[in-house]
Amino acid sequence: DQQVKQNSPSLSVQEGRISILNCDYTNSMFDYFLWYKKYPAEGPTFLISISSIKDKNEDGRFTVFLNKSAKHLSLHIVPSQPGDSAVYFCAASRVNFGNEKLTFGTGTRLTIIP
């Protein structure tokens, strides 16, 4: 049962344009969401997060949008740069002290075309 889904396994975007990565979840109890970036043969690195009390969080070129009613979140990267080429995972969790585990999506491979 895949509770966090990233339906696009890959995405190609021209350098300088906006990259939009999407993520859907099914568990309405999730209330904290994160995006991670992963290069080959490396572990994921944290990018940005958002709590369910917000609908937008921005950090430099990265913005995460949350639509709770649609159980959907997206990561916007603008402008896209070649170094952004990587696999992006969204993750979700439920704040439950003592049991804050992350449920990951399957990832989207982003390729930035120079």
Partner 1 sequence: GAVVSQHPSWVICKSGTSVKIECRSLDFQATTMFWYRQFPKQSLMLMATSNEGSKATYEQGVEKDKFLINHASLTLSTLTVTSAHPEDSSFYICSAREGAGLTDTQYFGPGTRLTVL
- Residues at the contact surface with partner 1, assessed by CB under 8 A: 2, 4, 9, 32, 36, 41-46, 49, 51, 89, 93, 95, 97, 100-107
CB of 65 to partner 1, least distance (A): 19
CA dihedral 114, 104, 5, 113 (to 10 degrees): 0
Instruction: Report, in Å, the least distance between residue 6 CB and partner 1.
Output: 8
Which CB sits closer to partner 1, 78 or 102? 102
Question: C-beta of 17: minimal distance to partner 1 in Å?
Answer: 26
CA 26 to each of CA 3, 38, 60: distance values in angstroms, whole numbers, following the listed order: 5, 24, 29
What is the number of helices (H) and of strands (E) in the chain?
0, 11
For residue 44, the minimal CB distance to partner 1 (Å) is 5
Strand partners, 78: none
61 vs 109, which CB is nearer to partner 1?
109
- Measured from the CB atom, the residue of 77 and 107 that comes closer to partner 1 is 107
Q: Cα–Cα distance between 88 and 47 in angstroms, integer?
A: 9
In the complex with partner 1, which residue's Cβ is closer, 13 or 44? 44
SS3 106: coil
